[in-house]
Chain A
Amino acid sequence: MKAWHFSENAYPYLPPADEYESIRVNLPNKNYDPEKGAKLYDRFLDEWLIAEDEGMEIMLNEHHQTATCVDPAAPIVLGALARLSKKARLLILGNPVANRRQPVRVAEEMALVDVLSRGRLECGFVRGVPYEVLPANSNPVRMNERQWEAIDLIVKAWTSHDGPVSHEGRFFHHRNINIWPRPYQQPHPPIWVSTTSPGGAQQVGTRGYVQATFLTGFDGTRKIFDSYRKGWREAGRGNDVPIDRLAYAALVYTADSEQRAYEGADKLLWYMRANKVPFHYQYPPGYMPVSAMAQVMRGAALDQHAALKDKMVVEKAVEAGIMMAGTPDQVYAQVKRFYEHVGGFGHLLIMGQAGFLEHDDTVHGIRTFAREVYPRLNADYPDTAISSVQQERVVA
């Protein structure tokens, strides 16, 4: 199993939440102090490099027009990390390709990083969360279709080496595709796709890309991984799904005492508590299927949000499987339990920093996990392990 240190690069120095409508989309950037922001970038880069020193891999992501994640151009930070780091795999999860007008430009950016890092890039693609459509001016309807055409076009750009090729598709048009540099890894960097829906996961499984899911808890994650395994098998990729095809992102904080761990973990929950976003940014038209959106209109969203609020204390978050927190023994047991429940996964994406979790505490969490939990997980779950739920293994 591989563990990845992930930070959203949040800017937490905000006025009280009741003084603004939304932390995303319309929060005025006069609330952002570039001096403080510069120090935060330095700090977050340092923390990624510390995680690398401890044997962990590096993951970053991208959001727009929000204080929750001040990394609106992840490929640029990825470029910095490619030079600053030496050995860690570099996962960008990911490029919001349904919101990017030029997939070929994305292929160029990623190829550059792959060469710069001597082939350490793991290239993720995401559809983008609903509140990204306004910042990107991106039509929320038919995003899935755009995303898949963009991914296929990027792979074509990466793997065409004999001069210009062209693309005249449904959403994208490119007369001359002949990227320089081409990727360092052959035939191309590993591809990751994030989805939190079973339907999406099946499609990712069909293609055999790495499937990542975020904070979907015990049962949600199992459904998603089941769909991935189904898609994988139905596409004729064989019965065995290697665990390195599946990734789960959770809030994780490990410390030398339970009390310290819970205090740190509570600060990580800023990630969920601070995500104040009104209904009309959360649910743009066409982002979800009509039937699901109809349920939301009836009030299902309110129920969901109420359920989520309940999980915003450490014990409940751990119980729900969206957080692993405690001493090394406790965190080890929590990851194992989750692993067994969902059928196994090869990548633990650790949201190890959020909000006001300061540098020293962040580093303590990284080091305690890396030194006292990670080796045990590696021993139990080698990268060659197979992912399947218990019943399937019994039948097999």
Chain B
Amino acid sequence: MTDVANTLERRTLSIAGAEIELFEGGQGAPLLFLHSGQGVTAGDPFLALLAKERRVIAPSHPGFGKSSLPDWADSVDDMAHIYLELMDRLDHGKVDLVGCSIGGWIAAEIATKVPERIKRLVMIGPVGVKIGTPDKLDIPDVFAMPQEKFAKLIFHDPDKFRPDLKTMPEEAIAAMVRNRETLALIAWEPYMHNPKLKHRLHRVTVPALFVRGESDGLVSAQYLQGYAGLLPDARTETIAKAGHSPQLEQPQVLLTKVLAFLNA
């Protein structure tokens, strides 16, 4: 693997009262990458691979990483609007849009607002809609479960991703806490979805790829199928030996599938 620290460069942009941290790198067609609840860093292994083929633009969502959170922002819709302005500002024209988990939800909101600005859409373990019945949460309640149970639900192999909280740098642990706080702010109620979104997704006529890890305990196969079915031109893929974050557990396999779709 190349020196990832050199692959992506960090800068900051002021948008609508928010200071947005942005990681950029690589050459090729522009790709806007929207991270999961775990956040994004300059050393992200999946982005390093992706940047070999594409111009990758990966912001930290407001309230995540080092991006500030304006007082007025408290919803996924707010984040989508901030990114609309980011897209205006960067002026890349049409972009490929890739979102993971909560980033998938933001991507879906953006795509319903400006479908003409999107080339292709990739949703990796996405949340954002309500598919099942009212008497069961579609996504297990990540704010009300023991850490160990959470790790088992999101990873195929949790042992490889167990952070050592005693030795983790102060800054990293604070970022982790803050990411989770912002996730709760925007996804608490309605839990992990916007009831209106499913009635808007028909506008997203561009080709879309919905991906989940086979061991994902948060986004079920049924949920992914139901979600993809709301878009006129969407297909689904499953990644073996991966959980909620195939970009962490199977970056190479995911890259192959994503590029095959984007280049089709």
A115-144 contacts to B (CB < 8 Å): 134, 137, 139-142
- Say what secondary structure dominates the interface of chain B: helix
- The answer to whether the Cβ of B176 comes within 8 Å of any Cβ in the partner chain is yes
CB–CB B146/A140 < 8 A? no
B175-200 contacts to A (CB < 8 Å): 176-178, 180-185, 188-189
**A273 vs B120: C-alpha distance in the bound complex, in angstroms?**
57
A173 to chain B, nearest CB (A): 15
CB–CB B184/A140 < 8 A? yes
CB–CB B147/A290 < 8 A? no
- The answer to whether the Cβ of A281 comes within 8 Å of any Cβ in the partner chain is yes
Residues of chain A within 8 A of B180, CB atoms compared: 285-286
Contact of A285 among B166, B181, B189 (CB under 8 A): B181
Residues of chain A within 8 A of B189, CB atoms compared: 137, 139
CB–CB B173/A298 < 8 A? yes
**A299 vs B174: C-alpha distance in the bound complex, in angstroms?**
14
CB–CB B184/A284 < 8 A? yes
Which of A137, A140, A294 is most buried by chain B, counting CB atoms within 10 A of its CB?
A: A294
Residues of chain A within 8 A of B173, CB atoms compared: 294, 297-298
CB–CB A293/B165 < 8 A? no
Residues of chain A within 8 A of B264, CB atoms compared: none
Residue of B nearest to A284 (CB): B143
Residue of B nearest to A145 (CB): B71
CB–CB A290/B181 < 8 A? yes
CB–CB A280/B145 < 8 A? yes
**A134 vs B185: C-alpha distance in the bound complex, in angstroms?**
14
CB–CB B74/A134 < 8 A? no
CB–CB B185/A298 < 8 A? no
Q: Mark B95-130, 1 if CB is under 8 A from A, else 0.
A: 000000000000000000000000000000000000
B141 to chain A, nearest CB (A): 8
CB–CB A299/B166 < 8 A? yes
- The answer to whether the Cβ of B170 comes within 8 Å of any Cβ in the partner chain is yes
CB–CB B183/A285 < 8 A? yes
**A278 vs B150: C-alpha distance in the bound complex, in angstroms?**
14
- Say what secondary structure dominates the interface of chain A: loop
**A77 vs B9: C-alpha distance in the bound complex, in angstroms?**
61
- The answer to whether the Cβ of A291 comes within 8 Å of any Cβ in the partner chain is yes
B143-183 contacts to A (CB < 8 Å): 143-147, 165-166, 170, 173-174, 176-178, 180-183
CB–CB B185/A141 < 8 A? yes
Residues of chain B within 8 A of A139, CB atoms compared: 184-185, 188-189
CB–CB A294/B181 < 8 A? no
CB–CB A279/B146 < 8 A? yes
B71-88 contacts to A (CB < 8 Å): 71, 74
Contact of B165 among A140, A278, A291, A298 (CB under 8 A): A298
CB–CB B184/A141 < 8 A? yes
Given contacts A280-B146, A297-B165, contact A141 B188 (CB under 8 A): yes
A92 to chain B, nearest CB (A): 26
Residues of chain A within 8 A of B71, CB atoms compared: 170
B136 to chain A, nearest CB (A): 16
A287-339 contacts to B (CB < 8 Å): 290-291, 293-294, 297-299
**A278 vs B166: C-alpha distance in the bound complex, in angstroms?**
20
CB–CB B146/A294 < 8 A? no
CB–CB A141/B181 < 8 A? yes
A106 to chain B, nearest CB (A): 20
CB–CB B144/A280 < 8 A? yes
Residue of A nearest to B180 (CB): A285
**A66 vs B167: C-alpha distance in the bound complex, in angstroms?**
36
CB–CB A142/B185 < 8 A? yes
Residues of chain A within 8 A of B177, CB atoms compared: 285, 290, 293-294, 297
Contact of B146 among A25, A170, A278, A284 (CB under 8 A): A278
**A284 vs B143: C-alpha distance in the bound complex, in angstroms?**
7
Residues of chain B within 8 A of A25, CB atoms compared: 144
B38 to chain A, nearest CB (A): 13
**A297 vs B165: C-alpha distance in the bound complex, in angstroms?**
7
**A286 vs B183: C-alpha distance in the bound complex, in angstroms?**
9
Q: What are 18 A-B residue pairs whose CB atoms fall within 8 Å in the complex?
A: A25-B144, A141-B184, A141-B188, A142-B74, A278-B146, A284-B143, A284-B144, A285-B177, A285-B184, A286-B180, A286-B184, A290-B177, A290-B181, A291-B174, A294-B174, A294-B177, A298-B166, A299-B166
- Residue ranges of A at the interface with B (Cβ–Cβ < 8 Å): 25, 134, 137, 139-142, 170, 278-281, 284-286, 290-291, 293-294, 297-299
- Given A279-B147, A280-B147, A290-B174, 4 new contacts (CB under 8 A): A134-B143, A290-B178, A290-B181, A294-B177
Q: Give the 8 A-B residue pairs with the shortest CB-CB distance, closest first.
A: A286-B181, A285-B184, A141-B185, A285-B180, A139-B188, A293-B177, A285-B181, A294-B173
- Residue ranges of B at the interface with A (Cβ–Cβ < 8 Å): 71, 74, 143-147, 165-166, 170, 173-174, 176-178, 180-185, 188-189
